[in-house]
Amino acid sequence: MNKNDNRQKRIEYTYIFKINKSSFLLDYLLDKLPLSRNSVKSILSSHKVLVNGFVVTKFDYPLAKDDEVKILKNRVDIVKNNNLDSNYKLDIIFENEDYIAINKKAGLLSIESNKEIESAYYYVSKYLSNKNPKLRPYILHRIDKETSGVLLFAKDIKLHSKLKMHWNEDVKVREYYALVEGVFEKKEGTIKSYLKLNANNLVYSTKDPNGKKAITRYKVINENKEYSLLKVEIDTGRKNQIRVHMHDLGHPIVFDEKYGYTKNPIGRLGLHASKLVFYDINKGEDIEITAALPKEFKMVF
């Protein structure tokens, strides 16, 4: 057998679009593609259209701002070629008529990338469409692939649009647990900096106010001679914010391959999104969603 036979087939796209405003899938594709109406319908029926990595065939499928629509160059068996788990069970921690939140496992993307289709969005889409073919999720925020914890989706496009307009203001609490290397002299504190991307697409701290302002508050809640467990709240939800700030303090998160870890006691990144509190504009009240501390974090102590 050829040693390459078991490799995943490369997925190639003829078009990739980022949605700027709400629309319906067929209407959007007719506007963007230099093809006849029948040709566009054929592409849809041939399972060549992905919305955020989820195969869509419905002409009236609603598109929201920031969705990604991709057209496959060749039809592929998405599940077979991306090792998607057809029996994957979502850890649903909150659901009502407007929202669904899951406890995302570490190692799963929030939403697909150009290299990987398997994502929380994919499995939530599958779950909702099985309940009601007219339902789809609308992602409100993201957490890193390596991070576990609370991930929230809206079920209604109008609600999603309203929330996305001032999401940072509507979120009251973003709480995490961080398992980091070393022992802190100062058992609680606040880190403030501006974050930028370098040429290698790696986030770093700077005093330059042209970067994105980031504020992280931490408190040590457990420790031993090698590790500290922190409860962390962030005032600003920036990419890799906690990971960068822990690196700045000289206490990198365990198994953080981006930011200089030296120890790997739990076999995964030591970061977990434990609580999200946000203002529900439909009901006029706060909603609190929590995901318990993973048992492997506790085992260290």
* Residue reference for tokens 């068996």: 77
Catalytic residue among 67, 144, 156, 256: 144
Q: What is the DSSP string of 1-34?
A: --TTTTSPPPP-EEEEEE--S-EEHHHHHHHHSS
Residues 261, 253 contacting (CB under 8 angstroms): yes
Reduced to 3 states, what is the DSSP secondary structure of residue 217? strand
144: annotated active-site residue: yes
**Paired tokens of 110:** 């929030």
CA neighbor of 67 nearest in space, from 119, 137, 19: 19
Q: What number of other Cβ atoms are within 10 A of residue 3's Cβ?
A: 6
| DSSP tag of 275 | E
- Please enumerate in sequence order all residues whose Cβ is within 8 A of that of 184, keeping only pairs 6 or more positions apart, or say none: 220, 223, 228, 249, 251
d(CA 91, CA 87): 13
Residue found by looking up tokens 């921690």 in the block: 93
Active-site positions read 144
